């Protein structure tokens, strides 16, 4: 019993360490380009069914690995499916499940583009909606018969790709800002918090092992 618990603690702590290193060595997504549709003006829709939209993709930059669209749920993010098409051929497809905080956009991951792509379309499916949603963009008129309200819009779209800096490069800035706005101040506050967290982990591990004696 004691050995299995020690092994479980060791595996758990090692997993946390590996995950932390993996995150710090990766780069955050940055906006490579965006279309000209408004990112602040919105229209609210209350249709409780699947809504769809197809619009010109413009130029999708090389390395794009996520598409951010101006879609927001009233209380939580709706389910969104995105397809990038050239003609009738689907080049990329990604999905974002419903849930998560309600923010003025939904980011859908897609397989990275090895080369820039021009002349494609981005087709978006939202829902079925269980609450009102907002779309950020520009109204347009379409010739599609019985078009839903989302089809009569050009959604604000941003193409995201990994930045040049890793998360670890932001650590000095984070430490600096953690030392501001309180007394005593200084970057040493961040190191103190880290030491206290590590100390708490050691105390928990020690108490767990003591209970197994």
**pLDDT per residue as tens, the chain (213 positions):** 667 777 777 888 788 888 888 777 777 889 999 998 888 888 888 776 788 889 999 899 999 999 999 999 888 888 999 999 999 899 999 999 888 788 888 999 999 999 999 999 999 999 887 788 889 988 876 665 556 677 778 899 999 998 777 777 777 777 777 777 666 767 777 777 788 888 888 888 787 777 776
**Joined tokens for residue 56:** 């010109």
User: Is 29-162 assigned to CATH 2.30.42?
Assistant: no
Alpha carbons 98 and 126: distance in angstroms, whole number: 10
Alpha carbons 137 and 47: distance in angstroms, whole number: 18
Element (H, E) at 82: strand 80-86
Each domain of the chain, given as residue ranges in start order, spans 2-26+166-211, 29-162
pTM above 0.85, yes or no: no
Cα of first residue to Cα of last residue in the chain, in angstroms, is 10
Contacts of 72 (CB under 8 A, 6+ apart): 42, 102, 103, 104, 105, 106, 133, 134, 135, 136
Angle at 84 between CA 82 and CA 89, to 5 degrees: 125
């Amino acid at each position: 019993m004691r050995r299995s618990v020690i092994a479980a603690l060791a595996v758990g702590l090692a997993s946390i360490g590996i995950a932390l290193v993996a995150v710090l060595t990766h780069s955050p997504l940055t906006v490579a380009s965006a279309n000209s549709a408004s990112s602040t003006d919105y229209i609210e829709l209350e249709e409780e069914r699947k809504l769809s939209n197809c619009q010109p993709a413009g130029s999708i930059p090389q390395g794009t690995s996520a598409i951010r669209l101006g879609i927001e749920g009233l209380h939580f993010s709706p389910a969104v499916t995105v397809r990038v098409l050239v003609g009738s051929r689907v080049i990329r497809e990604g999905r974002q499940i419903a849930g998560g905080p309600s923010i003025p956009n939904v980011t859908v991951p897609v397989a990275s583009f090895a080369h820039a792509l021009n002349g494609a379309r981005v087709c978006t499916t939202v829902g079925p909606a269980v609450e009102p949603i907002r779309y950020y963009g520009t109204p347009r008129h379409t010739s599609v018969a019985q078009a839903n309200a989302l089809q009569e819009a050009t959604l604000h779209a941003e193409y995201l790709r990994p930045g040049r800096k890793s998360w670890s490069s932001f650590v000095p800035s984070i430490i600096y800002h953690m030392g501001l706005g309180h007394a005593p101040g200084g970057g040493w506050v961040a190191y103190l918090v880290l030491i206290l967290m590590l100390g708490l982990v050691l105390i928990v591990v020690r108490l767990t092992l003591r209970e197994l004696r």
